[in-house]
Amino acid sequence: MDVRVIELKNGYGIDALTVSERPDPVPGPNQIVLELRALSLNYRDLLVVEGTGRWRAPLPRIPVSDGVGVVVDTGPGVSRVKAGDRVSPAFYPAWIDGEPDPEKMASPLGGAVADGLMAQYAVAHEDAVVRVPAGLSDEEAATLPCAAVTAWNAVVCRGRIKPGDTVVTLGTGGVSLFSLQFAGMLGARVIITSSSDEKLARARGLGAAAGINYRKRLDWPTAVLELTGGAGADHVVDIVGNLNDAVAAVRVGGAVAFVGLLTGMKTEVDLVALMGKSARVEAVDVGSREMFESLNRAIAFHGVRPVVDKVFPFAEAAEAFKYLAGGAHFGKVCLRF
Amino acid sequence: MDVRVIELKNGYGIDALTVSERPDPVPGPNQIVLELRALSLNYRDLLVVEGTGRWRAPLPRIPVSDGVGVVVDTGPGVSRVKAGDRVSPAFYPAWIDGEPDPEKMASPLGGAVADGLMAQYAVAHEDAVVRVPAGLSDEEAATLPCAAVTAWNAVVCRGRIKPGDTVVTLGTGGVSLFSLQFAGMLGARVIITSSSDEKLARARGLGAAAGINYRKRLDWPTAVLELTGGAGADHVVDIVGNLNDAVAAVRVGGAVAFVGLLTGMKTEVDLVALMGKSARVEAVDVGSREMFESLNRAIAFHGVRPVVDKVFPFAEAAEAFKYLAGGAHFGKVCLRF
Amino acid sequence: MDVRVIELKNGYGIDALTVSERPDPVPGPNQIVLELRALSLNYRDLLVVEGTGRWRAPLPRIPVSDGVGVVVDTGPGVSRVKAGDRVSPAFYPAWIDGEPDPEKMASPLGGAVADGLMAQYAVAHEDAVVRVPAGLSDEEAATLPCAAVTAWNAVVCRGRIKPGDTVVTLGTGGVSLFSLQFAGMLGARVIITSSSDEKLARARGLGAAAGINYRKRLDWPTAVLELTGGAGADHVVDIVGNLNDAVAAVRVGGAVAFVGLLTGMKTEVDLVALMGKSARVEAVDVGSREMFESLNRAIAFHGVRPVVDKVFPFAEAAEAFKYLAGGAHFGKVCLRF
Amino acid sequence: MDVRVIELKNGYGIDALTVSERPDPVPGPNQIVLELRALSLNYRDLLVVEGTGRWRAPLPRIPVSDGVGVVVDTGPGVSRVKAGDRVSPAFYPAWIDGEPDPEKMASPLGGAVADGLMAQYAVAHEDAVVRVPAGLSDEEAATLPCAAVTAWNAVVCRGRIKPGDTVVTLGTGGVSLFSLQFAGMLGARVIITSSSDEKLARARGLGAAAGINYRKRLDWPTAVLELTGGAGADHVVDIVGNLNDAVAAVRVGGAVAFVGLLTGMKTEVDLVALMGKSARVEAVDVGSREMFESLNRAIAFHGVRPVVDKVFPFAEAAEAFKYLAGGAHFGKVCLRF
């Protein structure tokens, strides 16, 4: 019996996404088979679907890195999980622990090298999956592998954030809202930016101490300075990649976690400003299984729920991608099987 | 006009505390004069009063390190504070920033080397005082210099604590309750121990996730293991100094902040257990002015109030020390002018 | 065809070591078979052979964690190494990377849980072996898995050592000499202790800046203070476990890496002294495969040779253990096949 | 009696440097007077002299931050140094210890805010000077405050460098040669770049493992990859500010210390490459007095000598600046009184 998948088959672009079939997966030694329940979409999935730059994959390719499923079959030697467990595959299946390196990051799911999870069933190594918190719905759990791990790595692992520090997150996409939630857990004061006052109000409901409408305040870094007595934020989680803005908003000795490049592949950096801030800019590219497990523990303890904006049926994947591309979301866009 | 002080004059012990007079303080270059408003007592002050071990001071000596006052006079060159500011002197006046060293720790207030604050007025270097949060009463603010800075250093600076981590604090004295509050700010799950169920209930009201009555559970480290699925706590803030208990309660790779020695000057350590836990034991001895300023910012942002157990009038200092020695307190014992 | 091994069969103690046979090893998926070339002995192997405390293993048990061999067979799916590679198994086969935890440390070689390497052939997971530097002899390479990894973890990973810092290592066993070599690579000034002036002279030949004969200076920590202008050492690598000595020798804010317990399972700690030093005591229990790989790179770059004291033929394992127990060695005691 | 100085009086530029006189300095409380012996020039001094951008100072201004002198007078209360001591003023007089902040960095010597050291005598706060190693000549000692502290901060404090790591330094100016020396102390393998084979040979004499002539290899980052088995360097100390090159040369998870901007005030950054490397870019702006003291200890222990390229008499300051601007130097350009 074959498995229904959605893949890029003959070309790139949202409209090139095609329902297709793959052979029924058979788990090898230490492998498991998952029946997928829900997926979530990331901006990076859009780059893969569009075939952009280094995200252009050979075809056919099943996109989407993030999902949650139930273990339905286990290969020889499997001991970390068992049939019936609800798990998520890690974004980087080989990055278990420790610092990043090319070997650990060789095969991200749903990218240029390996298929992703837009499928009824998927195979994974038992070491590459993580049990997700029981209190989350499937859609909520499906939001974690890329966006939440990235935010955890940026804010908790790299951030050196103390209670009372000020953290700025840009926009209201998945990584930014998780950053808001994790920075809040660490006792930080969070400032969030958005083009919409209504989204800023919702972000306040999630714990943001202040919001800046960057449509009204094109000089939002100046607004951050105003909100911090002129000092600047201790930390900026920059999903945009406009590093000059992030550096302008940060205090002397502060840090920028560069976590995404929403507005372009290049940016001009003012070296005098960077030096003047003695700033640290750290590129954060998702994270390890250990980080995923840590954040699950924190989410479960705090009873925090990932923010799901909208859920589309699996068959409407193309609509979901278009909705994501439109940028109107607050939190995550998901698919449900 | 002379200044009224309470000092150890002819001997040691609570009953040797004597009301006395000192010459009116005149601020030198970069010095200020404080009119004291409130003091708080620490176990270390008791050691000084009793003349115990390395805490035995030459006489006469004004004890007590922690207090809050108002700047009433400033010497030449003072620019960091001005008359009318409400400030607290730092426990280690010369430890402004960075790592500890003997020079920075040479003159703790109210100890073997320097007079403390049991006085109507006191002189301090402008660099050695810290503005305290406006929202705190004088008594609340007076609790910060030793106990809160110690807890901040242990939990925030040394702790490497992540949201969802488990932190254990021992007893309900000042350092432990501040540790509870700071660990809570960092998103940790806090377990507290006490000999009293009523105190445990109050600690839960301050955010403790669980309490262990160590009278009923003499094997409280085992109780910690039970509460952590057998793993042990990520961090123990040990005010007692019974390191074997702390190590038994901690997970493999975990940390013990050794912050006080309530039950003796020596302890036997099980080296096999210590190695088996790959544990880190870090002696934490108050902290820097920078830590004090950081924690003030956090306290102000979170609206956290230090826990004041009981306030005595200045003239009843001896009663206050006896009350502290009795160990019945929950939080801090204070004096008010 | 069976494999010749030396094992504890009917009891504990050096004289209980027995030549025996085990079935020919067959590599499972992702496993390899090594033909052993050389072994090295650690004090911990002696504890295992003697059946001491938590090192007492069920019988039969093949002791010895450290060895080097050549890959002679590979199971299905092996890709990290190939036949002919010279490799060493990691002390903790499951500790690949990151921080210690019980799962990673569950099965140290040649201990209470798993067989070791006193055998012609041994099986290992491909992920649990490390290629050793080409410039080392088999005996030299065999010294690395426990002693060198422990020293690397203590000095390089945990030590926070800067050029010009003073590091003290105790005695002239394997861990201490590796600590001397690694601390020297980091630009530290190393002081070593020994009961023998002749060994101290040899240690100076390896780069030690000073030596203290602890037979002549029973108060060797005082001698360290003298050699550091009264300040104390920045770091002590303590293989002995007499923590009071280590703390006495360290500066305020300094660190003790507790790496071994040569003189007893317990020690009394002076809490006042520990607090007075604001010291950090960190138990270091070998380390990860990643550390092993890092130190190999450093050894290869620096052309450093492990110090091999004496090599015994495999058949004379008992004599080798007796020689180790005698404590006359300078560096490592090895076995050669 | 007045003091002879060289200052910018009526305008900017090397030719605007004018011999002038200032009143004889009188030390205030906790201040000292230095008789200057030697100075060294930094690229930043050239920016000040030229009146470039944020380095443009109000006139008159005495430039030059780095020098060494002898204490000839002390004001009331001075205890850290005494007449006759040979000391260097710290680049940032108020940055004693800990992390950077605006207050600590408010008054760098010889810049937009405060006068520098091109003078027979200069006043300094006793806390803002550092005793220099006895083994260094005046000219050698004068090279330390800016260039050596910057390199120490970048390599030792921020670098997280392990023995065997590969460090790249760009060019053969002061910061790069100090970085070479400090990275060498830490056991790193250092690759240096230069436009001159002769300078590369000299750098090898100082311990560089390899050199890349960036005139012959415009793609020097590729040459770094070749020299590191394709992996890239662990650390790049980038005095140039061409961040794309630095990022291209670094390994996944590696670090760039951005320490200077020799070729322009702005640079374009390839965000995809930065993310692909999970790289950390840290702007390093000189450092603290504590760093200065640490590096002095290391230099003294290792017997390392700063590299002085050429010494000009004080009266030929303009020639010295022109020589520096020409870029032909290897190491530091100094002035002697």
Q: Which residues on A lie below 8 Å from C77 (Cβ)?
A: 29
What pLDDT, in 10s, does the model give residues B150-207?
999 999 999 999 999 999 999 999 999 999 999 999 999 999 999 999 999 999 999 9
Put simply, the answer to whether B298 touches A164 (Cβ < 8 Å) is: yes
Q: Which residues on A lie below 8 Å from D270 (Cβ)?
A: 265-266
pLDDT at D2: 87
pLDDT at position B300 over 70: yes
D298: nearest CA partner in chain C: C164
Phi, psi of C192 (to 5 degrees): -120, 150
CB-based burial of residue B269 (10 Å sphere; 0-12 exposed, 13-18 middle, 19+ buried)?
buried
What's the CA angle centered on D241, arms D238 and D247, to 5 degrees? 65
Put simply, the answer to whether D164 touches C294 (Cβ < 8 Å) is: yes
Q: How confident is the model at residue A262 (pLDDT cuts 50, 70, 90)?
A: confident
The two tokens of residue C24 are 């020919």
Q: Which residues on B lie below 8 Å from D76 (Cβ)?
A: 29
User: A238 by DSSP, 3-state: which?
Assistant: strand
What's the CA angle centered on B281, arms B279 and B284, to 5 degrees? 155
The Cα D224–Cα D247 span in angstroms is: 11
The Cα A323–Cα A311 span in angstroms is: 11
Task: Answer yes or no: are the C-beta atoms of C283 and B247 closer than 8 Å.
Answer: no
Put simply, the answer to whether C302 touches D156 (Cβ < 8 Å) is: no
Put simply, the answer to whether B278 touches C100 (Cβ < 8 Å) is: yes
pLDDT at C1: 64
The Cα A43–Cα A286 span in angstroms is: 13
The owner of tokens 């066993």 is: C173
β-pairing, D166-170 vs D189-194, is parallel
Put simply, the answer to whether D77 touches B290 (Cβ < 8 Å) is: no
Mean pLDDT for each 10-residue chunk of chain C (337 residues)? 91 96 94 98 96 95 98 96 98 97 97 96 97 97 98 97 98 96 98 97 97 97 98 97 97 97 92 97 98 98 97 96 94 96
Q: Which of C241, C266, C277 sits opposite B268 (nearest CB)?
A: C266
Bridge partner list, C297: none
* Cis peptide bond upstream of C221, omega within 30: no
Higher pLDDT, B264 or D236: D236
CB-based burial of residue C263 (10 Å sphere; 0-12 exposed, 13-18 middle, 19+ buried)?
exposed
* Cis peptide bond upstream of B221, omega within 30: no
pLDDT at B1: 64
Q: Which domains does chain A have, with CATH numbers?
A: 2-146+287-336 (3.90.180.10), 159-283 (3.40.50.720)
A97: nearest CA partner in chain C: C98
Question: Would you tell me how many other CB atoms lie within 10 Å of the CB of residue B201?
Answer: 12
Q: Which residues on A lie below 8 Å from D268 (Cβ)?
A: 266-269
The two tokens of residue A216 are 């009204």
Q: Which of A30, A77, A97 sits opposite C98 (nearest CB)?
A: A97
The two tokens of residue B312 are 């005595």
Q: Which of D182, D187, D298 sits opposite C302 (nearest CB)?
A: D187
Q: Which of D102, D261, D278 sits opposite A271 (nearest CB)?
A: D261
Put simply, the answer to whether D186 touches C187 (Cβ < 8 Å) is: yes
Closest C-alpha to D236, from D253, D219, D216? D253
Task: Answer yes or no: are the C-beta atoms of A127 and A26 closer than 8 Å.
Answer: no
User: Mutate which of C285, C286, C288, C291 to test chain B, going by most B C-beta atoms within 10 A?
Assistant: C285
Task: Tell me which chains share at least 3 CB pairs under 8 Å with chain B.
Answer: A, C, D
C287: nearest CA partner in chain B: B278
Q: Which of D187, D298, D300 sits opposite C298 (nearest CB)?
A: D187
Bridge partner list, D210: D191
pLDDT at A62: 98
pLDDT at A263: 80
Put simply, the answer to whether B275 touches C283 (Cβ < 8 Å) is: yes
B296: nearest CA partner in chain A: A164
Q: Which residues on C lie below 8 Å from A96 (Cβ)?
A: 96-98
- Would the pTM count as exceeding 0.95? yes
CB-based burial of residue A172 (10 Å sphere; 0-12 exposed, 13-18 middle, 19+ buried)?
buried
pLDDT at C131: 97
The Cα A121–Cα A115 span in angstroms is: 12
The two tokens of residue A87 are 């798990």
Task: Answer yes or no: are the C-beta atoms of A285 and A105 closer than 8 Å.
Answer: yes
Question: Would you tell me how many other CB atoms lie within 10 Å of the CB of residue A224?
Answer: 26
Task: Answer yes or no: are the C-beta atoms of C182 and C159 closer than 8 Å.
Answer: no
Torsion sign (Cα): B189, B195, B197, B203: negative
In three-state form (DSSP H/G/I as H, E/B as E, the rest C), the secondary structure along D271-311 is HHHHHHCCCEEEECCCCCHHHHHHHHHHHHHHCCCCCEEEE
The Cα C214–Cα C203 span in angstroms is: 14
B187: Cβ–Cβ under 8 A, 6 or more apart, which residues? A185, A186, A187, A298, A301, A302, B162, B163, B164, B165
Closest C-alpha to B192, from B204, B205, B178? B204
Phi, psi of B157 (to 5 degrees): -80, -45
D182: nearest CA partner in chain C: C163
Distance from CA of D164 to the nearest CA of C (A): 4
Task: Answer yes or no: are the C-beta atoms of D251 and D224 closer than 8 Å.
Answer: no
pLDDT at position B149 over 80: yes
Distance from CA of B309 to the nearest CA of C (A): 27
C268: nearest CA partner in chain B: B268
What pLDDT, in 10s, does the model give residues A222-247?
999 999 999 999 999 999 999 999 99
Put simply, the answer to whether B298 touches A182 (Cβ < 8 Å) is: no
Task: Answer yes or no: are the C-beta atoms of A247 and A270 closer than 8 Å.
Answer: yes
Distance from CA of D294 to the nearest CA of C (A): 8
CB-based burial of residue A79 (10 Å sphere; 0-12 exposed, 13-18 middle, 19+ buried)?
exposed
Task: Tell me which chains share at least 3 CB pairs under 8 Å with chain D.
Answer: A, B, C
User: Mutate which of A97, A104, A126, A297 to test chain C, going by most C C-beta atoms within 10 A?
Assistant: A97
D97: nearest CA partner in chain B: B98
pLDDT at D1: 64
What pLDDT, in 10s, does the model give residues A79-127?
999 999 999 999 999 999 999 999 999 999 999 999 999 999 999 999 9
B280: nearest CA partner in chain C: C282
The two tokens of residue B248 are 């038994």
What is the percentage of chain A residues whose pLDDT exceeds 90?
Answer: 97
Question: Would you tell me how many other CB atoms lie within 10 Å of the CB of residue D134?
Answer: 8
Q: How confident is the model at residue B262 (pLDDT cuts 50, 70, 90)?
A: confident
Residue spans of beta strands (DSSP E) within chain D: 3-8, 17-22, 31-41, 66-74, 86-89, 121-125, 129-131, 166-170, 189-194, 210-213, 233-238, 250-258, 266-270, 280-283, 308-313, 332-336
What pLDDT, in 10s, does the model give residues A313-324?
999 999 999 999
Q: Which of the 8 DSSP states describes residue A147? A: I
Q: Which of B231, B261, B277 sits opposite C283 (nearest CB)?
A: B277
Q: What is the mean pLDDT of residues D134-144?
A: 97
Put simply, the answer to whether B99 touches C253 (Cβ < 8 Å) is: yes
Q: How many CB pairs under 8 A join A and B?
A: 54
pLDDT at position D16 over 90: yes
The Cα C207–Cα B83 span in angstroms is: 58
The Cα D6–Cα D315 span in angstroms is: 9
